[in-house]
Chain A
Amino acid sequence: MKGLAPLFLGIFGTFAFSWVGLTVIPNWQIGHLNPESDEEGTDIYPQPQSGMFHRGERVYAANGCVYCHSQQVRPDYVANDIERKWGNRRSAPRDYIFERPVFLGKMRMGQDLANIGARAPAQEEGSPAPPTSASPAPQGATASSPPPAQAVAASPATSPMKAASPSAPTAAAASSPGGSPSPNASPPPGQRTGVASPSPGQMANTTPGGSSPAAPSAQTPGAPWPIQTAGLPPMYSAAWHHVHLYAPRSINLDSNMPSYRFLYEKRRIAGERSADALQLSAADAPPEGWEVVPSYDAKCLVAYLMGLNQSHPLKDVRSVSGAPAAGASPAAAAQGASPSPAAAGSPAPAKK
């Protein structure tokens, strides 16, 4: 090779080409997206997330969840992500504009989590005190997501629970707006409310005032939770996430997910059992007089998971409406959340 100038220019030129082509131009093209709204300027999506959500993001990063879980739904013409109920439409750049860092992931040793929050039982999703409700700001996940989304969200929850046999009426009742125990700050339409607790700080404590992500009422006797034989909360509810994080193999024997016990505290029950103590089954249950409660990090992590929801339609992305087992009305969705024998008979797309 003759001369230094061509060598240096070439080395810089080739790299500059790649840098401009794959980072600068895309940033110019999709690097400044805004949330979408309908004509009246309502129904804004996506919306900024709560402080707990973002702290949960850090916990997610710190413990390397991204190495096994992706957060992207591929379109239905290339993969069956949508058929697996991992979403009702493909993911789009706009879905991620408030997330930092973004965990698209490249590995699926576990399920895709892009819509794990949307898959929560309807009761959880509409409940005024979900774990994502740390800040008074409206949540990114909207309660008014279209019925198919809810149905899609709810139905996969059912089949793995067939052994658990929760009672249908409780779930249905819980999902109805009238069943919400906290009518304060009635949410504007299209927005998910999150005002059960005025500050994230309050969320940290475990007072049974309704601010804990484990949906305390669920844990106490007579809770809206169906009390199942397996002793497990409904799939993808906050309480279920806690049990799953603490003891993955108590939910799916074959799971190879690590347990995250270090995010939980085992302590002696002082006075009354804490409202957010985990409902653990036999082998994992603490000894008599002890309880397992989530740390603040664990609550944030679950808040993060519950906030992952791309079910809201986007203008330039085709939503799949005819998903199998998708009910057309919220009522159907609620029914779907309860394992009617028909639902239980469907193949379980997700066991862990």
Chain B
Amino acid sequence: MNATGIPLKEPEVSAAAGDTEQLERAYIDASTRVPVLMFYTSAIAWLILGTLLAGFVSWKLHSPDLLGDVSFLTWGRVRPAHMNIMVYGWASMAGMGTAIWLMARLCRTVLRFPLLLVAGAAFWNIGVLIGVGAILLGDSTGFEWLEFPRYVAVILFVAYTLMGSWAVVMFRHRRGDQIYITQWYLLGAFLWFPWLYAAGQLMLFVVPVQGVLQSAIGWWYSNNLLFLWFGAIALGSAYYMIPKVIGRPVYSYHLATIGFWTYALFSSWTGMTRLVDGPFPAWMITASIAATILAMIPVATVGLNHHMTMQGYFPLMRYSPTLRFTVFGAMSYTVFSVVGLLISLRSVASYVQFTDASIAYSHLGLYAFFTMVIFGSMYYIVPRLVGREWRYASLIKLHFWASAYGIGLMILMLLAGGFLQGADMQNPALSFSESIETVLPYLRGRSLAGILLTVAHFIFAYHFGLMLLGLGRTSTVPTFLNPVEAEISGGH
């Protein structure tokens, strides 16, 4: 990828006092161009691959004989390949791209040591590639989200060390005393991930713990990866993008502080809720259910904070792609947490445990919340890297609606199917296979929803490709989704 050939956007110089600040910002943005675009390009390539595999997986679930005789295309291998591509290829790389850009901006310093990041991204890509190959060839470890074999974990860890140390160095070189809310979340994410990953690897593969604790650690890991890595990056991004686009400060720093610390404290304890009534000491599961309930505190404070910031500015979602995606994602965070709480309660869990409801839950977190926020940040950041504006407002709109309807339909299908399947499973008069027949129509519906998401991702990848090739619009005005009426000014 040759990002240096892309013309830099002319900084918008105004006669106002903010001149130097704007120039400085443009300068910082330019310094992040190569690494961030490298992360984004890889992430989108993984997204496309992961989407295709997802369609295949979803289809095979109700048409099991589709290409079933080939060992590396069997359902049980393609599914973890899809999940790991989405988690480590798409979500982690896109999230890190956004985090790097935000870090440079918020530390108000040009990006130092870009080679660390470039090397990190390269190693990470190699790691994911080898890992996916290993899964398809039958070398999976069997632990969800940790399927990559040990040698791949080493590559990923080395790659991450490069990027994590970069974040610490950048933070040390920051200017200004103020540490913005976004930086709390990003610092948290950058410091939590290596601990989490190392703890997971060590306790599962290097010095494995005994028996069922392996499952406990597996769930502790994947739950914390969802909250403390992806969730933290997404919330950090939302805290930056929403105020930035509407040109208004965050409603309350105080609320933000409460939200951050309760988030870190409670969401990290929720991992055992996927093991309700499993073979564990009851206190572990009860503690996690309690933490899930307490995790409503950060949901309420963060939600309230975003809502009050947006108060009176919701109509801007009509125009700004960034705002539309980010607000959708931020709202999904609330839905995600409420659904998570609902399916964790013992009485409900006895029904929906072991059904598609848990798949709905992880898609809510990883897609409706995280991915939508990251799409929003990409719509904001990419024009500032390539110096062009998005070419077609219509494509952005298509992307949004296909994504929103796609994920909405998918979650409805999975939740409804999961609840019905669970009710059938709890009904001793029905044979087990009855519950599967109940859920199959919903799985077909899920496949249809997946087609919508596939369309969305191809549109986005095409649009992003145009931007990379320098085919965006040359303009000082950002691309709005709808023609802007006279009274709306600023924002993007």
A residues near B (Cβ < 8 Å) are 1, 4, 7-8, 10-12, 14-15, 17-19, 21-23, 26-27, 29-33, 60-68, 70, 72, 74-75, 78-80, 83-84, 90-111, 248-249, 252, 254-263, 347-352
Write out the residue numbers on chain B whose beta carbons fall within 8 Å of the beta carbon of A92.
279
State whether the Cβ of B455 lies closer than 8 Å to any Cβ in chain A.
no
Q: How far is the CA of A101 from the CA of B141 in the complex (A)?
A: 8
Q: Is the CB of B179 within 8 A of A258?
A: no
Hey, which bits of chain B sit against chain A, CB under 8 A? 60-62, 64-65, 68-71, 74-77, 79-80, 138-144, 179, 184, 187-188, 191-192, 195-196, 199, 203-204, 208-217, 220, 224, 228, 257, 261, 264-265, 268-269, 271-272, 274-275, 277-281, 284, 287-288, 346, 350, 353-356, 358-359, 425-429, 431-433, 435-437, 440
Interface contact B68-A258, CB-CB below 8 Å: yes
Q: How far is the CB of A46 from chain B (nearest CB, A)?
A: 10
What residue of chain A has the Cβ atom nearest to residue B83's Cβ?
A: A67
Min CB distance, B82 to chain A, in Å? Answer: 11
Given A80-B428, A352-B432, A104 and B278 contact (CB-CB distance below 8 Å):
yes
Known contacts A93-B280, A104-B215, A107-B354: A31-B140 contact under CB 8 Å: no
What's the Cα separation between A259 and B346 when bound, in Å?
Answer: 35
A14, A80, A347: the one within 8 Å of B265 (CB): A14
CA of A154 to CA of B6, assembled, Å: 71
Can you show 7 pairs from A to B with CB atoms below 8 A apart?
Answer: A15-B195, A30-B210, A30-B213, A62-B140, A256-B62, A258-B68, A261-B68
The interface residues of chain B lying within 8 Å CB-to-CB of A67 are 75-76, 79-80, 144
Does the CB pair A22–B62 fall under 8 Å? no
User: A15-B192, A64-B80, A103-B215 known; 9 other A-B pairs, CB under 8 Å?
Assistant: A15-B264, A19-B195, A29-B281, A62-B138, A66-B142, A93-B213, A98-B211, A106-B354, A262-B74
- Please, how many angstroms separate the alpha-carbon atoms of A84 and B143 in the complex? 27
Are B358 and A106 within 8 A (Cβ)?
A: yes
Q: How far is the CA of A100 from the CA of B65 in the complex (A)?
A: 30
**Chain B contacts for A94, CB-based, 8 A:** 211
A67 to B208, CA, bound (A): 21
Partner of B277, one of A11, A15, A75, A263: A75
Within 8 Å by CB of A102, from B199, B212, B350, B436, lies B212
| Number of interchain pairs (Cβ within 8 Å) | 237
CB distance from B355 to the nearest CB of A (A): 7
Complexed CA–CA distance, A195 and B280 (Å): 34
How many Å from the CB of B48 to the closest CB on chain A?
Answer: 22
Min CB distance A208 to B, Å, is 28
Measured CA separation A324–B354 after assembly (Å): 25
- Knowing A90-B279, A104-B275 touch, does A26 contact B436 (C-beta < 8 A)? no
Q: Which residues of B contact A104 (CB under 8 A)?
A: 212, 215, 275, 278-279
Q: Are B64 and A259 in contact (CB under 8 A)?
A: yes
* B203 neighbours in A (Cβ, 8 Å): 23, 27
A27 touches B433 (CB 8 A): no
> Quick one: given A101-B141, A254-B437, A258-B60, are A11 and B211 in contact (CB under 8 Å)?
no
B284 to chain A: which residues have CB within 8 Å?
Answer: 22, 26
Residue numbers in A under 8 Å from B359 (CB-CB): 107
Which of B79, B274, B279 is the one whose CB lies under 8 Å from A106? B274
Report the minimum CB–CB distance from A312 to chain B (whole Å): 14
A109 and chain B: residue at smallest CB distance: B436
**Which residue of chain A has the shortest Cβ distance to B69 in the bound complex?**
A261
* Choice from A17, A19, A101, A262 contacting B70 with Cβ under 8 Å: A262
Chain B residue with Cβ nearest A86 = B432
Per a CB cutoff under 8 Å, which of B65, B76, B212 touches A30?
B212
Q: Are B220 and A11 in contact (CB under 8 A)?
A: no
- A12 and B76 CA atoms in complex are apart in Å by 37
Pick from A4, A84, A111: contact of B179, CB under 8 Å? A4
Given A70-B354, A78-B346, A262-B74, the answer on whether A21 and B212 have CB atoms closer than 8 Å is no
- CA distance in complex: A141, B201 (Å): 30
Q: How far is the CA of A97 from the CA of B76 in the complex (A)?
A: 25
| Smallest CB separation, B180 vs chain A (Å) | 9
User: Which residue in chain B gives the minimum CB-CB distance to A60?
Assistant: B142
Query: Looking across the interface, which residue of chain B has its beta carbon closest to that of A83?
Result: B428
Please determine whether A102 and B215 come into contact, CB atoms closer than 8 angstroms. Answer: yes
Complex formed: what's the CA distance from A259 to B280 in Å?
Answer: 33
Minimum CB–CB distance from B57 to chain A (whole Å) comes to 10
**In the bound complex, do residue B141 and residue A61 qualify as a contact, i.e. CB atoms below 8 Å apart?**
yes
Chain B CB count within 10 A is highest, among A83, A90, A96, A110, for A96
Most chain B CB inside 10 Å of its own CB: which residue of A62, A84, A350:
A62
- Does A349 lie within 8 Å of B68, measured CB to CB? no
Most chain B CB within 10 A, of A7, A18, A263, is at A18
A74 touches B277 (CB 8 A): yes
| Distance of A256 Cα from B57 Cα, bound (Å) | 12
The answer to whether B216 and A26 touch across the interface, beta carbons within 8 angstroms, is yes
What is the distance, in angstroms, from A73's C-beta to the closest C-beta of chain B? Answer: 8
Residues in B neighbouring A98, C-beta threshold 8 A: 211
Chain A neighbourhood of B278, CB < 8 A: 72, 74, 91, 104
The answer to whether A96 and B68 have CB atoms under 8 Å apart is no
Contacts of B355 in A (CB 8 A): 107-108
Chain B residue contacts of A262, Cβ below 8 A: 69-71, 74
Shortest B264–chain A CB gap in Å is 4
Residues on B with C-beta less than 8 A from A11 are: 187-188, 191-192, 264
CB-defined contacts of B224 to chain A, threshold 8 Å: 18
A17:B213 contact, CB within 8 angstroms: no
Most buried by A among B60, B65, B75, B279: B279
User: What residues of A have a CB within 8 angstroms of the CB of B350 in the complex?
Assistant: 74, 78-79
Closest to B351 in A: A79
> Chain A residue with minimal CB distance to B268?
A18
Residues on the B chain within 8 Å of A64, using CB: 74-77, 79-80, 140, 142
The answer to whether A100 and B214 have CB atoms under 8 Å apart is yes
Complex contact B140–A61 (CB within 8 A)? yes
